[in-house]
Amino acid sequence: LVGLILPSIQTMYSSFLSSSGKDFVGFANYLWIFTQSAGITAVVNTIIWVLVVPTVSTIVGLAYAVFIDRTRGEKIYKVLVFMPMAISFVGAGIIWRFMYEYRGPQFEQIGLLNQIMVWFGGEPQQWLLNEPWNTMFLIVVLIWVQTGFAMVVLSAAIKGVPIEQMEAAELDGTTAWQRFVNVTVPGIRSSLVVVLTTITIASLKVYDIVAVMTGGRDDTTVLGFEMVKQQQGFQSYGHSSALAVVLFLFVLPLIIYNAQQLRKQREVR
């Protein structure tokens, strides 16, 4: 009641108030989100993050888990991919900001990507300024962090698939791909749902990476960053609250879906 319900009600109520928090303005704050360029950009970019990050992280994590399953040095390979999970989003943003660092062609490059460009005879690029690709370069950071999480969870799920099913499918003359699609994937379906929804929620809440690497400039802002930006400096609590409500509405279907899946699993058990 104190930590969740009351703050949620207060935020929803504030989303209908003016910047000062005294005057009732109805849906004006929500109209601002979907009519002003900053609000529209934040919504569009957030959708892009939600579509790209969970999909790529899960596919790469699953592929890695399958290829290293029961191989020599499996633990070492897992640690190498899982290590970014131990880094905060701020730390990851700083690391990748150095990766994308740009200096003029007349200077020595300190950014790894631009140095590679120079080695191959190309010109250094301002990776975080070139729209719309700068958003994709930010997305790479979260994929880098979340792939380890996907790999660990899915690797554990793969080990839980009954070996008898795999052997029976092999005796039936199926290929490795057919066994993966028809045996492994159905056997880890619940884990796939957990990984996808967890990474999706993380993508919706992303703030640190954008704040550290670009500060939301050059059309890289997202809902989480714009929400904090509107609140800082007392710009507009009404706008900030409305952004928080929109973000909550994006997350709500995922929470409901997860709750339904958990209920179905309990019924099966």
- Is the pLDDT assigned to residue 234 strictly greater than 60? no
For the ranges 17-26, 60-69, 71-80, 186-195, the lowest mean pLDDT is seen at 17-26
pLDDT of residue 233: 58
Average pLDDT over residues 129-136: 88
- Is the pLDDT assigned to residue 86 strictly greater than 60? yes
Q: Helix/strand/coil (H, E, C) string of the chain?
A: CCCCHHHHHHHHHHCCECCCCCCECCCHHHHHHHHCHHHHHHHHHHHHHHHHHHHHHHHHHHHHHHHHCCCCCHHHHHHHHHHHHHCCHHHHHHHHHHHCCCCCCCCCCCCHHHHHHHHCCCCCCCCCCCCCHHHHHHHHHHHHHHHHHHHHHHHHHHHCCCHHHHHHHHHCCCCHHHHHHHHHHHHCHHHHHHHHHHHHHHHHCCCHHHHHHCCCCCCCCCHHHHHHHHHHHHCCHHHHHHHHHHHHHHHHHHHHHHHHHHHHHHHHC
User: Model's pTM, two decimal places?
Assistant: 0.86
Percent of the chain whose predicted confidence (pLDDT) is above 70: 97
